[in-house]
Amino acid sequence: MALPTRLTRLLGIEHPILQGGMAWTATAELSAAVSNAGGLGIIGAGQMPTEVLREQIRLAKTLTDRPFGVNLMLMTPHIADLVQLCLDEHVPVVTTGAGNPGGFIAAFKEAGIKVLPIAPSTALARRLESQGADAIIGEGMEAGGHIGELTTMVLTPQLVDAVDVPVVAAGGIADGRGMAAAFALGAEGVQVGTRFMCASECTIHPDVKERIIKAKDRDTVVTGYSTGHPVRVLKNKLSKMVEELDRSNDPAAIEELGTGRLAAAMREGDLEMGSLMAGQCAAMVDAIQPAAEIIAEIIAEAEDVMRRMATVPV
Ligand code: TUI
């Protein structure tokens, strides 16, 4: 991928690979490693206190000279403070998830910050493009964490048809085959989350990395439909309890049970009662590797697949 594309030019990166901004998981260390390897590292702000995010952004700036991003989770109660912090710190790129960032886009643009919202539907993508989004990240329901309804396979080409800005495909992409498939659907880049959870530089608990490496194809489940914001997680005791509460249609109990569970999983390694947010492609992750190696493998494999496909008769 030596030739610059619209997306790599927009972001000032070498390879069109974004690292998912996963809460409690994508810290400055991981993000800087991805950016140093030519991708776009993204700090997952999640529900971080503003001062913690400030430290993370400043740490990333000491660890890399390259562009990096911050993912803002829009359901966070103090989201306005986190937006202001990104403006004050002149973060190069902001991605957003779990809501509509329309009201914040103009301020980011004025500050010269690139904005890439995650959109689970064409209607929202169109609206965000008209409000100034620089690109759209289309995340299919193969992804881990909070998900929309559509798969990457059907969402990506519809987004490509719906907007003129570049589309980044996310959800279910862990290797060069997935990247080549995303390109075939018209995406100009990919966002990879779960595979980067097993990067050497990712600071999550080692037991979670091991659990991902052991995961098989049907080891994730979507829970929390009754709350209105379903999440994909690796199956465990907590996911079974939440499924039970979904069946009895008790969203308040799910919210209460869920409090602090993502941190318990990712930081303390609570494999049974932690929320093990991970995508379906957990089953495709089979090693802990440096971020640079992950990126080099994905790029080399995508190039190989695309070269071979160029000679396939249809
Ligand atoms: O945001 C994510 N993934 C996440 S956020 C998260 S933290 C969390 N914890 C518990 C419950 C909920 C969240 C864990 N994983 N991915 C991006 C994403 N964005 N997926 C879906 C959406 C989305 C949904 C609705 C984006 C926009 C949207 O707009 C609705 C509207 O208001 O128009």
The reply to whether ligand 1 has any atom less than 6 angstroms from the CB of 229 is: yes
122 and 171 part of one domain: yes
292 and 268 part of one domain: no
Position 105 scores a pLDDT of 97
Confidence of residue 312 (pLDDT cuts 50, 70, 90): confident
7 within domain boundaries: no
112 and 187 part of one domain: yes
Position 3 scores a pLDDT of 72
**In this prediction, what percent of the chain has a pLDDT beyond 70?**
99
Position 243 scores a pLDDT of 96
What mean pLDDT comes out for the span 74-81? 97
The reply to whether ligand 1 has any atom less than 6 angstroms from the CB of 148 is: yes
Confidence of residue 27 (pLDDT cuts 50, 70, 90): very high
What mean pLDDT comes out for the span 193-213? 98
241 and 300 part of one domain: no
87 and 187 part of one domain: yes
Tens digit of pLDDT for each residue in 61-72? 999 999 999 999
Residue 44: give its domain's CATH number.
Answer: 3.20.20.70
What is the rounded distance in angstroms from the CA atom of residue 117 to the CA atom of residue 96?
Answer: 5
Tens digit of pLDDT for each residue in 123-133? 999 999 999 99
The reply to whether ligand 1 has any atom less than 6 angstroms from the CB of 208 is: no
250 and 197 part of one domain: no
18 and 101 part of one domain: yes
What mean pLDDT comes out for the span 236-250? 96
The reply to whether ligand 1 has any atom less than 6 angstroms from the CB of 100 is: yes
Query: Is the pLDDT at 258 greater than 70, yes or no?
Result: yes
Position 2 scores a pLDDT of 61
What mean pLDDT comes out for the span 69-90? 98
Give residue 272's domain range.
Answer: 216-277
Do the bridges between strand 220-223 and strand 231-234 make them parallel or antiparallel, or are there none, so unpaired?
Answer: antiparallel
Angle value at C-alpha 263, between 88 and 27, nearest 5 degrees: 40
Angle value at C-alpha 55, between 9 and 40, nearest 5 degrees: 20
195 within domain boundaries: yes
2 within domain boundaries: no
The reply to whether ligand 1 has any atom less than 6 angstroms from the CB of 232 is: no
What is the rounded distance in angstroms from the CA atom of residue 184 to the CA atom of residue 178?
Answer: 10
Domain count, the chain: 2
What is the rounded distance in angstroms from the CA atom of residue 187 to the CA atom of residue 174?
Answer: 15
What is the rounded distance in angstroms from the CA atom of residue 162 to the CA atom of residue 48?
Answer: 33
Query: Is the pLDDT at 260 greater than 70, yes or no?
Result: yes
Position 4 scores a pLDDT of 77
DSSP structure class, residue 284:
G
Closest residue by Cα to atom 30, ligand 1, is 99
Q: At what angle do helices 122-130 and 102-110 cross, to 10 degrees?
A: 40
Closest residue by Cα to atom 27, ligand 1, is 99
The reply to whether ligand 1 has any atom less than 6 angstroms from the CB of 54 is: no
Candidate from 146, 192, 255 with most ligand 1 atoms within 8 A of CB, to mutate = 146
Q: What is the pTM of this model?
A: 0.97
175 and 260 part of one domain: no
3-state secondary structure of 309: helix
Q: At what angle do helices 122-130 and 152-162 cross, to 10 degrees?
A: 30
The reply to whether ligand 1 has any atom less than 6 angstroms from the CB of 265 is: no
Confidence of residue 115 (pLDDT cuts 50, 70, 90): very high
What mean pLDDT comes out for the span 251-275? 96
Tens digit of pLDDT for each residue in 125-180? 999 999 999 999 999 999 999 999 999 999 999 999 999 999 999 999 999 999 99
